[in-house]
Amino acid sequence: MQLQRSTFKAMGSPCELRLYGDPAHVADVARAAQAEITRLEAKYSRYRDDSLATRINRSAGDPAGVQVDDETARLLDYAATAWRESEGRFDVTSGILRRVWNFKAGRVPARAEVEALLPLIGWQKVGWRSSRIVLPQRGMEIDFGGYVKEYAADLVAAKCRELGLRHGLVDLGGDLAAVGPHPDGRPWRIGVRDPRAPERALAQLALFAGGVATSGDYERCMIVDGVRYGHILDPRSGFPARGLASVSVIASACLVAGTLTTCAMLRGAHGGAWLDALGAAALYVEESGRVGGGLAALARNRGAAAREQRVPEAPA
């Protein structure tokens, strides 16, 4: 059984499918998988004028709102649950903060600029029931970008299994979902970056099934006057979360893993303890450099040697 690799770009990220099987069959499955990713990107991208996400956002202020399909209803139900369980930290209405936070520009917005957007943020303001969503205030938005890539990774892994493959890995810009382990039963080895030296490995995680996601303050960030500002923004304050440098989680699904990493980052210095209390399979690094979580032994066992090697890909 041969390992076939397919690389492409989607959802603003480099992507790769690593699938075992007959080359012709794998090629067919890879095409079907990429078509599914393209479909989701066209449907939920806030950057496309013809997307459902844009149609919902353009309806802000219209009391009629927008009727959505079953898939979108499930995603919005998930967003509602994540908002409730995270005590308002995971909030899909907070994407409007990108209007003032431009991490490529290297400029920290004035507090008044940020606070002017806060009245437009808050899932509790959204009218959501019976597959109809209403954004009551003009200017409000829904942003699926915080979790649709993880959802896509899970969906593609399921599609691969549906089409007869049992061994493979879906990698959508670092959001990973296992189709299944290697044919001999070995897990996929996933490199975790050191957040303060991202070209080096902190640890390797073993993934047999489910998904892995990582959040951190070292990508899409800026350092201004010696202060690091990460891209994960707290919807309650409008400013970047502080306290954790990175979080990686293994969970039953990539979507769940991604939600846990984001929520942990948004809990700041208490995020690690929150993951520990949940019993999550996590590896986190505090801003101080302390490594914790149920998977922390993997980092400690690798020791200094791990910090001297480049981050490996999930190898065959």
Residues 6+ apart with CB under 8 A from 225: none
DSSP symbol at 108: P
Distance, CA of 30 to CA of 9 (rounded, Å):
13
**Tokens for 228?**
């690091």
What pLDDT is attached to residue 311? 33
281-303 per-position pLDDT tens digit:
999 999 999 999 999 888 766 55
What pLDDT is attached to residue 148? 97
What pLDDT is attached to residue 308? 37
- Does residue 313 carry a pLDDT above 70? no
Averaged pLDDT, 232-246 = 95
pTM of the predicted protein model: 0.92
Averaged pLDDT, 185-192 = 96
Averaged pLDDT, 255-284 = 96
- Give, in words, the CATH class of 53-142: mainly alpha
**CA–CA distances in Å: residue 296 to residues 121, 128, 274, 286, 303:** 35, 40, 15, 12, 11
What mean pLDDT is reported for the chain?
Answer: 93
Distance, CA of 150 to CA of 125 (rounded, Å):
25
- Does residue 304 carry a pLDDT above 50? no
160-179 per-position pLDDT tens digit:
999 999 999 999 999 999 99
CATH label, 3-34+148-307, candidates 3.10.520.10, 3.40.50.720, 3.30.465.10, 3.40.50.2300? 3.10.520.10
More confident residue, 22 or 302: 22
What pLDDT is attached to residue 302? 59
The domain spans of the chain are 3-34+148-307, 53-142
